[in-house]
Each structure stands twice: as structure tokens, then as C-alpha cells.
Structure 1
Amino acid sequence: MKKFHFCSIIVCAFLLSLSSFSQTRKELEKKRSELKKEIEQVNSLLFKTKKQKSNALDDLKDLNQKISIRERLIETIELEAKELDKEIKKNKKQLDNYNKELKTLKESYSDMVVKTHKSKSLQSKTMFLLSSESFYQAYKRVKYMQQYNDFRKQQGEEIIVKTKEVEKLNDSLLDRKKIKIRLISEEKSNKEEIESDKKEQEKLISTIKNQESKYKKTLIDKQKEEKKVAAKIDKLIREAIAKSNKEKGAKKSAEFSLNAEEKVLLANFEQNKGNLPWPVKGIITRKFGVQPHPTFPGININSTGLHIAAQENSDARSIFNGKVLIIQKHSDGKRSVYVQHGNYISVYNSLENVYVKKGDAIKTGEKLGRIFTDKVTGKTKLSFVLYKNTTRLNPSDWIQ
């Protein structure tokens, strides 16, 4: 009985250990699935669109992003394969132990059956009882025979349990080996894809280097234009704050003067930091902040917000409750919508048309306008900026 209990403890400990392995692998499996979806999105949003005119710099940036994601995918697959190796080795070791235990149990049971058969050929149970010298001895012999039969039954049941455990471990081992084969195949396929992408990457780099001065000028001009747009947005926000404070009879300040209702909205907005919905479903093609240009050393890109690539005909949606503070029309015909959330302002740039008007109360997830699709590149991108009063924030810290 003690032996059976001890075996049960070993099995429980093994299952708990296996669970901790599986948890790690499940996390890697989830990450692998997310990265595969991200690659699908990159292909769908950045590479499947028809281009009337190609820009090597933009194409290289998009390709670099895809290569980076695929490299992370390969790394995740390799980590997952290592975790599988650990599980397979552990299963093999445990299987060997189980087979040894099963063999010992079967040998012990076989010896017991032979001895029982021999004892039956020598004398029957009846003669064994009748030969007792006293009633007490006969009683003890009856109890002994019962215990002996119970022990045989217990050993038989233990063999059945152990056999099932061996079968279960065998199945588990086969499953893990099949998963590993699939992972190796997936890794090979991704390495072939990345090699193809890197060849295309080399071609684009060569094209850019051959016309470096042209591409540098285009980049610098684009940065100057973005800087002007950012300065205009900053100015509009300062003016909106000044106007709002003046209407409330508050003192001049670089910050919004808030009433009780706006303070409640502000508190709710801050409580949802990190859990706010995306302004549009898609992928981030440019992060917030100053970043070195991947092709031209010494040139930095200063991004005032997030650039999110989306499907054509996508709508920008408000990330939280608030009111429309400003609707801005740009010289190229595109529009921007500014939504105030207490003393926070979310700005949705590059809209081709707008569904709201200044002063409208807005709910979380409400459609604000259709995002512009560039007819030349075929890409649909939203520029999303977030402010606290006049200070720009990293939107990535706030959205899910």
C-alpha cells in the first residue's frame, strides 16, 4: 500500500513539473501565433497594395519591418523547440522509470501466482484451515488468506494503472515529437522567406546608395514638412487651451482649467492608461520619439506620434469619451480631428473625410472619419498623436 501511495506522489510531482514546462511553451506558442498574424498584417497592409510609383526608402522601411518580425518569429520557434526538447527528454526518462517499475510489478505478480499455484497443489484452503490447532489460529489463517488475496488484487490493479500511465506517456511523447517536426518545418520555411527578403533588401539598399543625394533631399524635405505640421498642431492646441480658459473666466495658463465633470473624465482617462483601444486596427509602421534613420547615419527621425497602417476604407475611432475640440483642414485637403478628454487631447491625422463636428460629445470607439488612402502607394495610414495639455506623450504607453 505504501509503495502504491509513493508511486502516486511521484506521478503527481511529474504532472506538476510537466505543467510548468507546458506553461512556458504555451506562452511561446501564443507569441508565435501573434507574430505570424503580425507578418500576415504586414504583407496585407504594406505589400499587397498596388503601387503606381515606388519609393525605395519607404519600401526598404517596410521590408525591414517584415524582416525584423520574421527574425523574432524564428527566435520564438527556436525557443519553443528547446522547451519541447526538455519535455521530450523528461518524458523519455520518466517512461524508462515507468517501464522498470512495470517490469518489477509484473515479475513480482508472476512469482506470487506461481507460489499460489504450488501451495494449492500441496494442500487446499480447507485442509489449511482444518489443520489449525485452535479456533484463534484458524481465524488468523482466514484473515491471512483474505489479506493475501487483497494484496494480489491490489498488485493487479497497480499493474493496470501503471500500464495506462506508460501508454499515456508514450502518446504524449509521440505528440511532442510531431509538434517538433512541424516546428522544424516552419522554421525552415521562415528562414527561406527571410533569405528572399534579405536579397530584396540588398537590392533596395543598392538603389538608394546609387541615388543617395536624391533620397536624402527627399527625406529632409519630408522632415521639414512634418515639423511644420507638428508646430501648427502645437499652436492650435495652445490657442484652444487659451480660448477654453478664457470662456471659463480662468487665469491664463498653459493647461486646461477643468470643471468638476471634466475632472472626473480626466481621472477615468488616466485610470485606463495602457488599456485604451487602438484608434484603428492595423500595425505600427513608425514609433513615437526620436529614432536614428535605418539607412542614413547621422539623420534622425522625430515622430510626434504613431503611424498606423490599416486596411483601405478604415475609420479612425476615438480612444475614449470626450468632446471634439478642433477639426483642422490641411492644405492638401486632408483633415484632423482633435478630441479632448479632460486635459488630454487625442489627435487623428490624415483623414479624407470627417463624421463629427466641433463641440460634439464623443464616446469610446465612435467613428470620427475615414482614413486617407494614398492613390500612388496604395497605403492607408493614420497618424495618431496624444497630448497632455501642450506636452506630447507616447501613445504606446496608453493604448492596449
Structure 2
Amino acid sequence: MAYKNPLYKILLIIAFTLVGGIVFSQNNKQKQLETRRQELRREIQKINELRNENQSKAKSQLSLIEDFNYKISVLSNLIKVTNQQANLLTREINANQNKISDLRDELKALKEDYAGMIVKSYKSKNQQSRIMFLLSSNNFKQAYKRLQYIKQYSDHQKKQGETIKLKTEELQLTNSRLLKQQEEKRVLISENREVQKTLEEERKQHETVMASIKKDLNKYTAQIKEKQKEADRIDDEIDRIIKAAIAKSNEKAGKPASSRSFALTAEEAVLASNFVSNKGKLPWPVERGIVRLGYGTQPHPINKSLTIKSNGVRIATEKGAIARAVFDGEVSEILKMKHVNPIVMIRHGNYLTIYKNLSEVYVKKGDKVKTKQEIGKVFTNPSNGETILSFTISKGFVTENPGSWIYKM
């Protein structure tokens, strides 16, 4: 039999080691995909909760399009991740089916070999034949070797029986795993069908709203431009304040006022270092929310010829939501502009976090704040029921993507 060949055994061990590594890698990938799938499901739940909360309010067409775009994006990602899970399960199912086939073949060969040993043992089981086998030796050395052979044969027979038992258990375990995987795949496919239906419904509603907008595109284009102009005005004022604060810190430290970065004290340098070491782990600036608008320059969802310049993220949250500091720091400014809701700026060494669109402010300039400390209440628009916090992170006056800093944003 091939499995008696030492080289075959070595190759078999290597093969099982490689297969084990692949299985571990696949299990790890499956866990990552499942974690991501659950995150997306929670995201959709938050979107639905916020929609239900504001369903009695008449949202603007622009807000509706943003809502549809975001939910369509999350649903599409959920379908993609679920398909990846189903495909990975298909590969695992195929691998287990092949493994079951191989195990059955191996068990068949083991049992045939074991049966042969049992027959052979039965034929030579009487004590007299064993004694005669020993006594017929030509010398003591040969007798000793024959005695060792009898013992080894008996041990091999026992090991063969144990191997059959272990292989049978492995086969049963693999069968159970296969049935579980097939059920998991069935559930995933069923859930994906429901998500597909929801996605199609969202797309149809999106198309209806877009058709309505296109009838009067010039009016909406003017609104978009006005909103961007207002956002630019606020960002320009924030830049002016930050540059003035940088110049003041350098002047105080006896450095050129033209420097583009803060002159840090030893304490501020430590704070900045701690802020950086927590990159990707900072808490959200609100307890519950979804990112309605991401960071960076991007085409507008209604008029692709227009661009949105976003220096931070816009987070949709629930009515009465409280804005909170994402890290220890000092309130560097409470900004109040005409026709603009209050803005809180918190400095973390040479970094700043900026919280826009507050209705109430709970801190004052110069206050030391701690991570997750409440700094104000987010404004809720009475006409459409939307509660939006605009949140920015900058190093000096150069903005950075909050998605790289906030945990799972």
C-alpha cells in the first residue's frame, strides 16, 4: 500500500500542514468578512432609525439625494461583502467535500489492511506456533529479532486500530462542518436576496427624486453653489483664526511669526504625540451617527459638473445628540459668525479638532477638556428634522481625513 512508503508519509504530512495553513487563513478571512458584514448591517440600521425619526419632516431634495446615495453605497458594500463570504464558503465546502472523499478512500484502505492483519493474527494466534517460530531460529540474535517483530506487529496492529478510530472521528467532524457551512451559505444567499430587493427600491426612489430635480436643475445648482460658498466662508474664517494662533504661539516662543506650525511647549508636544499615537482609535464626536458626506473634493451627486470641497465629514445623528471631544485638549476658540451656528475648536498640541453646527455650547475658551467630555448640543434643523455635525481634524491649518483618525469611521 502507498501509505506504507516513508516518502509518501512525509509528503502527506507536508500536504496536511499546507492544507491546515490554508484553512486557518480562510477561517481568518471569513471572520474578517463577517465582522465587516455586521458593521454594514448596523450602519443600515442606523440609517433606517434616523430616517424613521425624521419621516414626518419634509426634507429638501438635496438632502434626500444624499440619503439615497449613502444608503445605496452601504447596501452595495453589504452585497459585495456577503458575496465574498458566500464564495469563500463555496471554496471551503468544495475543499471539505474533497477531504471527505479522500478520508473515505483512506479509511477503506486502512480497514482492508487491518482486516488482513486480523486474519493473519488469527491464523498464527496459538501460543505453540509463536514458540515454534522462535525456536526455529538459527541463533539467539535471529530469535531476538523474531521476538521484536512479533511485538512490533502487535503494536502496529493496535496503532492501526487507533488510526481508524481517529480517521472515522475526523470524517464525522468534517461532515458536521460541511453541513454547517452549507446552512451558513443558504442563510447568506437568502439575506442577500432581501438586501438586493431593498437596494432596487432605494434606486427607484433615487431615480424618482433625480427626475424631479432635473426638471429644475438650474435652481438646485444655484442652491448647491450657495451652500459651497457659505462652507468656504466658514473654512476661510477658521483658517484665519488658526494662522493667527500659530503666529501668536511662535511670537511667544521667540520664533518667526511666519512659521506654518505651532511652537509647542514640552506639555503640548507630549499631548500632540499622544494624539498621534491614538490615530485610528479616537472615539466618534457623537455617540451615534453615520457619515453623510466624506472628506475631500468630490463630484456633487446631483450635478456632476460641480464639486464639493469637504474639509471634514458631515455626520447625521439623532435629535438632541451631544457633541463630545475626541481627545484631551484645550478649547482654543468658540467661533460665532453671522447666520452660522456656533463652532468649537479644540487644540491638541499642533492638532485641532473642530465641531461645527452646535445649538448650545457647554465649554468656554481656555477650558481643558477630556476625551468624550460633552462640549455642546448638535443643532437640529426644525424644517427638515436633520441633526448634522460637521467635524474636522487639522494639523495646523492643513486638514486631514477624519476617517483615518476616528475608530471605524
How high is the TM-score relative to the length of structure 2?
0.87
| Cα deviation, residue 243, structure 1 | 4.9
Change (3 A) 1:42 1:333: same
Asked if the contact 2:350/2:396 (under 8 Å) is kept, the reply is yes
When structure 1 is superposed on structure 2, of 196-205 and 374-383 the one drifting more is 374-383
1:93-104 alignment to 2 at 5 Å?
A: 93-104=98-109
Residue 242 of structure 2 aligns with which residue?
Answer: 237
CA distance in 2, matches of 1:118, 1:304: 88
1:110 partner letter: A
Q: Secondary structure at the match of 2:264?
A: coil
Matched, 1:347 2:354: yes
Which of residues 336, 343, 346 in structure 2 aligns to 1:329? 336
Asked if the contact 1:129/1:138 (under 8 Å) is kept, the reply is no
How high is the TM-score relative to the length of structure 1?
0.89
Residue 125 of structure 1 aligns with which residue?
Answer: 127
Matched, 1:303 2:305: no
CA distance in 2, matches of 1:240, 1:151: 83
Change (3 A) 1:114 1:272: closer
Change (3 A) 1:151 1:44: same
1:307-322 alignment to 2 at 5 Å?
A: 307-322=314-329
Matched, 1:290 2:297: yes
CA distance in 2, matches of 1:78, 1:17: 20
CA distance in 1, matches of 2:15, 2:106: 12
| Cα deviation, residue 207, structure 1 | 1.3
| Cα deviation, residue 163, structure 1 | 0.8
| Cα deviation, residue 311, structure 1 | 2.6
Change (3 A) 1:26 1:347: same
> Root-mean-square deviation (CA), in Å?
2.7
Residue 111 of structure 1 aligns with which residue?
Answer: 116
| Cα deviation, residue 235, structure 1 | 2.8
CA distance in 2, matches of 1:39, 1:300: 26
| Cα deviation, residue 342, structure 1 | 2.3
2:357 partner letter: S
CA distance in 2, matches of 1:240, 1:12: 61
How many residue pairs are counted as aligned between the two chains?
397
| Cα deviation, residue 20, structure 1 | 1.9
| Cα deviation, residue 336, structure 1 | 1.1
What's the CA shift string for 1:117-142, capped at 9, x where partnerless?
3445xxx3225425734684766554
Q: Secondary structure at the match of 1:356?
A: coil
When structure 1 is superposed on structure 2, of 221-230 and 9-18 the one drifting more is 9-18
Change (3 A) 1:128 1:248: closer
CA distance in 1, matches of 2:80, 2:144: 71
Residue 92 of structure 2 aligns with which residue?
Answer: 87
Q: Secondary structure at the match of 1:364?
A: coil
1:258 partner letter: L
Residue 272 of structure 2 aligns with which residue?
Answer: 266
Matched, 1:218 2:223: yes
Change (3 A) 1:13 1:3: farther
1:83 partner letter: L
CA distance in 2, matches of 1:87, 1:112: 37
When structure 1 is superposed on structure 2, of 363-372 and 111-120 the one drifting more is 111-120
Q: Secondary structure at the match of 1:177?
A: helix
Asked if the contact 1:254/1:390 (under 8 Å) is kept, the reply is no
Residue 357 of structure 1 aligns with which residue?
Answer: 364
1:78-227 alignment to 2 at 5 Å?
A: 78-120=83-125, 124-130=126-132, 132-133=135-136, 136=140, 142-227=147-232
Structure 1, unaligned stretches of length 5 or more?
A: none
Which of residues 261, 280, 301 in structure 1 aligns to 2:286? 280
CA distance in 1, matches of 2:331, 2:130: 100
Q: Secondary structure at the match of 1:392?
A: strand
| Cα deviation, residue 266, structure 1 | 3.1
Structure 2, unaligned stretches of length 5 or more?
A: none
Asked if the contact 1:129/1:141 (under 8 Å) is kept, the reply is no
Asked if the contact 2:242/2:397 (under 8 Å) is kept, the reply is yes
Change (3 A) 1:3 1:333: same
Asked if the contact 1:51/1:376 (under 8 Å) is kept, the reply is no
CA distance in 1, matches of 2:400, 2:136: 98
CA distance in 2, matches of 1:269, 1:114: 76
